[in-house]
Structure 1
């Protein structure tokens, strides 16, 4: 299992329109794939941009492709300033 962390910037003026899109997308992904996503943002904005992060814990094989399709279907890129940056992390094996 892998955890996905996706961060990107959002113009402050677009944030109110983007939040319901991300929330609806995450609800659909939870129903269809059993992955409960989270949405977070940095407390401060810089030069009119907020930094947001989506977190998807314990994702299985194929979730990345499903997420990419959901992002396009929700038309998120139209409200994001720049690229979505995806980071993948996995649990460390326990020490003996």
Structure 2
């Protein structure tokens, strides 16, 4: 399964949030073998950016480990509102 987590961050908090997310993702990669990606929409609206974390091919139980890592990193101090998680899987061909 692939996890897509999106959330809002104020322009003023973006650098602090990035400084927390990058090492969190590095630790998750080391412990769980999932190479996280950090993305953002190219434009901000009213001083607020939309960011997305992507975790491809996440193993079972990874979502719980991610929630724990987010809490330990204190990301809520820099996000504006809740984190929204979407889960996607590959489309399997019936060939």
> Normalising to structure 1: TM-score of the pair?
0.97
Kindly state the Cα deviation for residue 89 of structure 1 after the two structures are TM-superposed: 0.1
Q: Which has the higher strand share?
A: 1
> 1:25 aligns to what SS in structure 2?
helix
Distance in 1 separating the partners of 2:64 and 2:20:
18
Give the gaps of 5 or more residues in structure 1.
none
Distance in 1 separating the partners of 2:21 and 2:39:
11
Kindly state the Cα deviation for residue 20 of structure 1 after the two structures are TM-superposed: 1.3
2:86 pairs with 1:87:
yes
RMSD: 0.5
Q: 1:1-96 to 2 correspondence within 5 Å?
A: 2-96=1-95
Count of equivalent residues: 95
> 1:27 aligns to what SS in structure 2?
helix
Give the gaps of 5 or more residues in structure 2.
none
Kindly state the Cα deviation for residue 78 of structure 1 after the two structures are TM-superposed: 0.9
Kindly state the Cα deviation for residue 95 of structure 1 after the two structures are TM-superposed: 2.9
